[in-house]
Structure 1
Amino acid sequence: MVESYLWLFAMSYLPEYSNGRMFAGKLATIIVLLDDTYDAYGTVEELQLFTEAFQRWDIRLTESLPQSMKVIFEAILELCEEIEELTTESGNSNFVVPHFKQAICNLVKGYLVEAKWCDEGYIPTYDEYKINGMLTSCCPIFATTFVGLADFATKDVLDWILSNPDILRAASVIARVLDDMASHRFEQERVHVASAVECCMKQYSISEGEAYNLIHKDVEDCWKVINEECLKSNDIPKIALDCIANYARMAELSYEDHKDKFTNGELLIDYVSSLLVYPFCLDQTVI
């Protein structure tokens, strides 16, 4: 939970966005279980029905599924009820809740695609992988949740996020491919969908090292897109742009040097301690 919360803390530390941080932090913890369900525990047949339950938002479709899937589905339903309660007073629930549901549906559809690729032993092209990876990066669902609970939330801003704008695509690619480079060797030790690295190696017939170089260049290009979008998107609230850019920054921190600091939480201890545990003194000297 601490590692999950840190991602949302990175998206914005401002006190007025505490609701978004706390809610999305809980959501992130549930998504870890959701990801593992599609990644390692469910059969394709079970996952197809699980995904359909989300598409219809109908818990009755989970009756024949394993108990673990029912628990996760119920937890997400409870989170949806919570987000409705949080947005009813402001009058935003009529558009925030549908966008939240759609973001969840898009996420699980992305997970299902990867589960099918794994089951079939299919290695997509790097370009094909990135398109689906934009969903499984989780950037869209967290941006939707964070913005939906903010005081500037409007249907237009959430529609903008749902349209998958350039800045969101770029941040999503950064998060997806950096995660893959940090974790793919461990994950490929078992049956697992091909990562960005394997897809890149196959598409361009190159070595692992060459794939790393190409992906890092891709990340640099994505940062150029983010910078450009932050400068020119004057009709979008700056905090909405900032939270997406900050998601990409947190990905850089979490997966720098090809180390998965999210999975191996001990690598984040110093950051957590300095930010959340140990107080620091502000210089009171008046000049």
Structure 2
Amino acid sequence: MHQNEAGANTKWWRELDIHRKVPYTRDCAVQAYFWSLSIIPEPKYSIQRRILGKLIICIAILDDTYDNYGTIQELELFTQAIRRWDIGLIKSLPECMKVVFNVVVKLFDEIEFEIAKNGNSNLMLQYVKEAFFSFVEGYMVEARWCHENYVPTYDEYKINGIETSTCPLEMTVLIALGEFATKDMFDWIFNYPKVIKAVSLIARLWDDLGSHKFEQQSREHVASAVECCMKQYDVSQEDAYKLIQNEIKGYWKDINEACLINSDAIPKHVLDLILGLARATEFTYSNLKDDAVGSFEDKFSHGQLTKDYVVALLLDPIVS
């Protein structure tokens, strides 16, 4: 089943022909599916896995659009078009940005179809869109910071980083497609309880630790958590690494507490999704073979780092 799902998502990616139409973006279909599989592997969640895998691909395309391609004026217009869900606003934008917009719209058509097939209210789609709008606006905030050469404080960066972590969006999509899609559940997510903040900041901070050196060296890029931490606390890069890793340990304690105590009486499945998100992020951006300070890697952007794990999980049989 998992092999078939990975193959179907890869075929979907190739048929979109994004690598030719949007040449600045990453080829990450396998890594995206691997991410979704690590969060929700049970057989009955096949649709959630496939949709989440496609969503993560779209997130990567948007990330590259905001980071690597669009001018600030183009990105402002693009963000406004997403907020209004109006393709008419992007007529003046480059063709590749129109392609990105259309891929997003088509994915949301698929999400809407699956929500309706499950018998859930169309209101669930509005929650998904609202989470998506908040996520994209987080990217826009970073684009403005980069354009203005502004380095936010570490605390300011983390507030916006909850959105750009993509965790609230991923959780909203998974819930909307499942059996716990209720107004109360979405209200809980959108109020950002401690456990949602924890998983979001684990994701944001590990992502920055894994990718900030490459991003800062290869292109103009918004300051990462590392630079913001160095600025706020006037510390070296090595000390910033240590501080951020200690904070990540604290956020893990928040997740453990939520899973053990669960004072909000959240379904175990929902807490398992949060736990899976945190695990997926730590696997993707930490170097599991080397605990040395500053030894991090980005297995999402560099697929060769994930290859052996994909082969072990999806191709090589387990021999008893």
Class of the TM-score when normalised by the shorter of the 2 chains:
over 0.9
Q: In structure 2, give the amino acid aligned to 1:197.
A: V
- Residue 281 of structure 2 is aligned to residue 251 of structure 1: yes
Deviation at 1:93, TM superposition (A): 3.8
3-state SS of the aligned residue for 1:231?
Answer: helix
Cα distance in 2 for residues equivalent to 1:48 and 1:90: 35
Q: Which has the higher contact order (CA 8 A, sep 6+)?
A: 1
Tell me, yes or no, if the aligned pair for 1:87 and 1:96 is still in contact at 8 Å. yes
Show the counterpart of 2:100: 72
CA RMSD of aligned residues (A): 1.2
Structure 2 counterpart of 1:151, from 179, 184, 198: 179
Show the counterpart of 1:239: 269
Deviation at 1:159, TM superposition (A): 2.2
Cα distance in 1 for residues equivalent to 2:181 and 2:311: 32
Show the counterpart of 2:229: 200
The TM-score normalised by the length of structure 2 is 0.85
Show the counterpart of 1:165: 193
Q: In structure 2, give the amino acid aligned to 1:103.
A: A
Write out the 4+ residue segments of structure 1 that deviate beyond 4 Å after TM superposition.
none
3-state SS of the aligned residue for 1:188?
Answer: helix
The TM-score normalised by the length of structure 1 is 0.95
- Residue 283 of structure 2 is aligned to residue 220 of structure 1: no
Structure 1 counterpart of 2:308, from 243, 256, 270: 270
Show the counterpart of 1:88: 116
Tell me, yes or no, if the aligned pair for 1:84 and 1:93 is still in contact at 8 Å. no
- Residue 136 of structure 2 is aligned to residue 108 of structure 1: yes
3-state SS of the aligned residue for 1:221?
Answer: helix
Deviation at 1:201, TM superposition (A): 0.3
CA deviations on 1:189-237 (whole Å, 9 max, x unpaired) are 1211000000000000000000001001100110011111122335211
Q: In structure 2, give the amino acid aligned to 1:8.
A: S
Deviation at 1:91, TM superposition (A): 2.5
CA deviations on 1:108-140 (whole Å, 9 max, x unpaired) are 100000000001110000010011111111111
Q: In structure 1, give the amino acid aligned to 2:274.
A: I
User: Tell me, which stretches of 5 or more residues in structure 2 are unaligned?
Assistant: 1-28, 288-295
Q: In structure 1, give the amino acid aligned to 2:51.
A: F
Tell me, yes or no, if the aligned pair for 2:203 and 2:282 is still in contact at 8 Å. yes
3-state SS of the aligned residue for 1:235?
Answer: coil
Tell me, yes or no, if the aligned pair for 1:129 and 1:199 is still in contact at 8 Å. yes
Cα distance in 2 for residues equivalent to 1:14 and 1:224: 26
User: Tell me, which stretches of 5 or more residues in structure 1 are unaligned?
Assistant: none
Tell me, yes or no, if the aligned pair for 2:152 and 2:228 is still in contact at 8 Å. yes
Deviation at 1:69, TM superposition (A): 1.3
Cα distance in 1 for residues equivalent to 2:183 and 2:251: 27
Cα distance in 2 for residues equivalent to 1:131 and 1:179: 15
Structure 1 counterpart of 2:216, from 146, 166, 188: 188
Cα distance in 1 for residues equivalent to 2:145 and 2:182: 37
Deviation at 1:61, TM superposition (A): 1.0
Show the counterpart of 1:27: 55
Q: In structure 1, give the amino acid aligned to 2:153.
A: T
